[in-house]
Structure 1
Amino acid sequence: MSSTPTAGETSIAEATPVSLCSREPHVPADRLVAEMVPPPRFDSVRFATYLPDPDQPSQTEAVQVLETFAAGLGGAHAVGGGKRGFFGFGRAKAPKAAPGPRGVYLDGGYGVGKTHLLASLWHATPAEPALKAFGTFVELTNLVGALGFQQTVKTLSGHRLLCIDEFELDDPGDTVLVSTLLGKLVDAGVALAATSNTLPGKLGEGRFAAADFLREIQGLSAHFRPLRIDGEDYRHRGLPEAPAPFSDEQVTKAAYATEGASLDDFPHLLEHLSRVHPSRYGALTDGVRAVCLTDVRPVPDQSTALRLVVLADRLYDREVPVLASGLPFDRLFSEEMLKGGYRKKYFRAISRLTALARDAKGLTEAP
């Protein structure tokens, strides 16, 4: 017979971590629409909280342009853009939209604050939350998959603004799908704003035969006024290097000592992700306050790597720290992957996981 547990043992038992591998969330379509708002990490961001680098004038210019853009969305919603232009200039009524860009496109490297600015635009736009939508490119395509194309057009056509974060075209199907969707939304008077690491006219390069879809890519580009944002990754600006991985024992002890933590073996988690649709990765982490991973090793193939990128994005959005043993996160992807067409996604994942690893460092110091 086992002895009566001590107070310390009882505490650990009460904090038994969950396993992400045991979760198989089902997300109804209406939740996908309702959750098209800035993620928790960007709940409180505003233009006033964005701190432009004084050595990068393009950052200050982007804030000014977006503030004007938001102010120009204050009129009544109407097909064709209504009485006011998208940059605040009044114009006469017209049955069709005026020529020229119907939105703004923030282009820049990793960690220059593009998502901060995009979320600030969403918050600054004078419309009810139900009339504004915010989501990643992947979440937008997932919404079409869940609702169907026509229903997605109908649902989003009544919006004042659609913000698309991490805008990337990874395959020909998505190129045609998004081009057609955005064209219909623009015709309905919806303003667009997007972020990416690729200029609109360069979307799709290095991933598929972009020349075969040049018409669609140029059509997308015509919807946006590009704004280049220069600068270095703020997540690395003046901060220490990412902490070295911990031991399996340290990670396991931290998981049991941290309320709301999950604990999984990294290879098994990657296998589990293949059985969960990426649109559900946010729900997969519902209620999780820290992710603890043992035996982190290189990702074996590109499909697995792309799924991991989506999970990293959802964890970063939700500010969930990641404590890991094994290899450091900058060794997750092979040299071939980091030189290929998806390299920008992989570097973004490394940057975000590194930031979350810093956030998790204190978990090993918990009593």
Structure 2
Amino acid sequence: MSETGSEAPGGPGDAPVALTAREPHVPADQLVAEMVPPPRFDGVRFATYIPDPAQPSQTEAVRVLGAFADRLGGASRSADGGGPRRWFRRVPKQAAPAGPRGVYLDGGYGVGKTHLLASLWHAAPAAPGRKAFGTFVELTNLVGALGFQQTVRTLGDHQLLCIDEFELDDPGDTVLVSSLLARLVENGVALAATSNTLPGKLGEGRFAAADFLREIQGLSAHFRTLRIDGEDYRHRGLPEAPEPYAAEEVTRAAHRIPGASLDDFSALLGHLSSVHPSRYGELVRGVRAVCLTGLTPVPDQSTALRLVVLADRLYDREVPVLASGAPFDRLFSEDMLKGGYRKKYFRAISRLTALARDGGALVGADG
């Protein structure tokens, strides 16, 4: 399944693992098999999403997505009760139904978009092998592993494709994803996606979006946009994250906690540059707590974006974080927090803060 170094850590008394010593590899067939909601979202459903009464857009999103899932189920049989058929079946081009073929959840970080996207995946009536859930970076990596045509064949018979953290950071991805989704829609695949950016604004502030307006508008046409307003639920009514610990405390906790990892932050950032972001989930597979010493502000935007992906994978897998050095809200510079990727950075701070809160409980148990 994976190269040496990405197996699950050992038990009590074992030395902590070093993420920098891991070189994960994910075979193409595993990439496809693992296109399901991550562990944090295994048990979520529409019924477990608690809308903020002050934000009617949250209640509306649950209603619209529930109806979307119902239509997927209702269209799995023909109108006369006969055998299965697709909701968005392939029809002659001139007779293709007008309007978007999917839903797009836009909103700030922490409003529950991934919860709702995973709930839609769970509610879709298709068997797991005919519905897929993955992040944008995982989808683009799948194309790289399988090739474009094989990816179309692999996903083209699916009922639903859910894409979390939709992003267009370079022109190549814009054209690639636009072409892929167009082919999947032709095959009758329903689409759903989340992002912090409206589909017509994807790529804005990151590259010359005007040069790729046709592709971006083509992507937008596939989706009905649902705006979800609200505050970051991860920190409503909760105490602030613990202050950074002394390096000795982090090291002691790493040796005490079964399955923990221990790394110098700067060394880990350097290692991330040698691992494709789609493999970060495999990088932390089996790790029960990530312990980091010497946190400092990240030196550049490329490094910062890799850290964002790592934070997402740790959050998906509910891995607590213990750290010494700079607090998480000082990792990204003021320029970064005002630039085109600012929503990514704020999401990372939010998620790392939540995980640090979980990590604080582990340090407290250390006595």
TM-score under structure 1 length normalisation: 0.92
Q: Given that residues 72 and 84 in structure 1 are in contact (C-alpha distance below 8 angstroms), is that contact kept between their aligned partners in structure 2?
A: no
Q: Do residues 348 (structure 1) and 347 (structure 2) align?
A: yes
Matches within 5 A, 1:136-147: 136-147=135-146
1:366 corresponds to which residue?
365
Structure 1's 335 and 153: CA in aligned 2 closer, same or farther, altered over 3 A? same
1:105 corresponds to which residue?
104
Q: Given that residues 247 and 293 in structure 2 are in contact (C-alpha distance below 8 angstroms), is that contact kept between their aligned partners in structure 1?
A: yes
Which amino acid in structure 1 is aligned with residue 189 of structure 2?
A: V
Structure 1's 94 and 281: CA in aligned 2 closer, same or farther, altered over 3 A? closer
Q: Given that residues 12 and 257 in structure 1 are in contact (C-alpha distance below 8 angstroms), is that contact kept between their aligned partners in structure 2?
A: no
Aligned length: 349
Cα distance between partner residues in 2 of 1:56 and 1:50: 13
**1:264-304 C-alpha deviation (Å, 9 max, x unpaired):** 00000001111111111111111100000000001011111
Structure 1's 330 and 154: CA in aligned 2 closer, same or farther, altered over 3 A? same
**1:328-367 C-alpha deviation (Å, 9 max, x unpaired):** 0000011111111111111111111111001110111234
Matches within 5 A, 1:88-237: 94-96=91-93, 97-237=96-236
2:76 corresponds to which residue?
76
1:73 partner SS? helix
Q: Given that residues 295 and 324 in structure 2 are in contact (C-alpha distance below 8 angstroms), is that contact kept between their aligned partners in structure 1?
A: yes
**1:211-267 C-alpha deviation (Å, 9 max, x unpaired):** 111110100000000001110000111111121100001101110110000000000
Structure 1's 31 and 12: CA in aligned 2 closer, same or farther, altered over 3 A? closer
Which amino acid in structure 1 is aligned with residue 224 of structure 2?
A: R
Q: Given that residues 86 and 188 in structure 2 are in contact (C-alpha distance below 8 angstroms), is that contact kept between their aligned partners in structure 1?
A: no
Q: Given that residues 46 and 119 in structure 2 are in contact (C-alpha distance below 8 angstroms), is that contact kept between their aligned partners in structure 1?
A: yes
Cα distance between partner residues in 2 of 1:168 and 1:13: 40
1:214 partner SS? helix
Deviation of the 1:15 alpha carbon: 3.2
Cα distance between partner residues in 2 of 1:343 and 1:148: 32
Cα distance between partner residues in 2 of 1:263 and 1:83: 51
1:89 corresponds to which residue?
none
Which amino acid in structure 2 is aligned with residue 68 of structure 1?
A: A
Which amino acid in structure 1 is aligned with residue 201 of structure 2?
A: K
Q: Given that residues 58 and 230 in structure 1 are in contact (C-alpha distance below 8 angstroms), is that contact kept between their aligned partners in structure 2?
A: yes
1:29 corresponds to which residue?
28
Answer with 159-168 or 93-102: which moved more. 93-102
Q: Given that residues 83 and 93 in structure 1 are in contact (C-alpha distance below 8 angstroms), is that contact kept between their aligned partners in structure 2?
A: no
Q: Given that residues 12 and 256 in structure 1 are in contact (C-alpha distance below 8 angstroms), is that contact kept between their aligned partners in structure 2?
A: no
Residue identity (%):
79
Deviation of the 1:318 alpha carbon: 0.2
1:299 corresponds to which residue?
298
Q: Do residues 64 (structure 1) and 63 (structure 2) align?
A: yes
Structure 2 residues not aligned, in runs of 5+: 1-9, 79-83
Deviation of the 1:168 alpha carbon: 1.0
1:323 corresponds to which residue?
322
Q: Given that residues 76 and 87 in structure 2 are in contact (C-alpha distance below 8 angstroms), is that contact kept between their aligned partners in structure 1?
A: no
TM-score under structure 2 length normalisation: 0.92
Cα distance between partner residues in 2 of 1:317 and 1:268: 23
Q: Given that residues 254 and 366 in structure 1 are in contact (C-alpha distance below 8 angstroms), is that contact kept between their aligned partners in structure 2?
A: no
Q: Given that residues 166 and 195 in structure 1 are in contact (C-alpha distance below 8 angstroms), is that contact kept between their aligned partners in structure 2?
A: yes
1:71 partner SS? helix
**1:82-134 C-alpha deviation (Å, 9 max, x unpaired):** 97757xxxxx9954531100000001111000000000000000110000100
2:29 partner SS? helix
1:275 corresponds to which residue?
274
2:7 corresponds to which residue?
none
Cα distance between partner residues in 2 of 1:99 and 1:211: 26
1:293 partner SS? strand
Q: Given that residues 199 and 219 in structure 2 are in contact (C-alpha distance below 8 angstroms), is that contact kept between their aligned partners in structure 1?
A: yes
Q: Given that residues 105 and 224 in structure 1 are in contact (C-alpha distance below 8 angstroms), is that contact kept between their aligned partners in structure 2?
A: yes
CA RMSD in angstroms comes to 1.9
Structure 1 residues not aligned, in runs of 5+: 1-10, 87-91
Which amino acid in structure 1 is aligned with residue 149 of structure 2?
A: Q
Structure 1's 320 and 13: CA in aligned 2 closer, same or farther, altered over 3 A? closer
1:54 corresponds to which residue?
53
Q: Given that residues 77 and 189 in structure 1 are in contact (C-alpha distance below 8 angstroms), is that contact kept between their aligned partners in structure 2?
A: no
Cα distance between partner residues in 2 of 1:180 and 1:12: 47
Which amino acid in structure 2 is aligned with residue 270 of structure 1?
A: L
Cα distance between partner residues in 2 of 1:144 and 1:93: 22
1:289 corresponds to which residue?
288
Which amino acid in structure 1 is aligned with residue 349 of structure 2?
A: I
List 4+ stretches of structure 1 deviating above 2 A: 75-78, 82-86, 92-97
Deviation of the 1:76 alpha carbon: 3.4
Cα distance between partner residues in 2 of 1:36 and 1:281: 14
Answer with 113-122 or 94-103: which moved more. 94-103
Which amino acid in structure 1 is aligned with residue 231 of structure 2?
A: E
Cα distance between partner residues in 2 of 1:70 and 1:315: 29
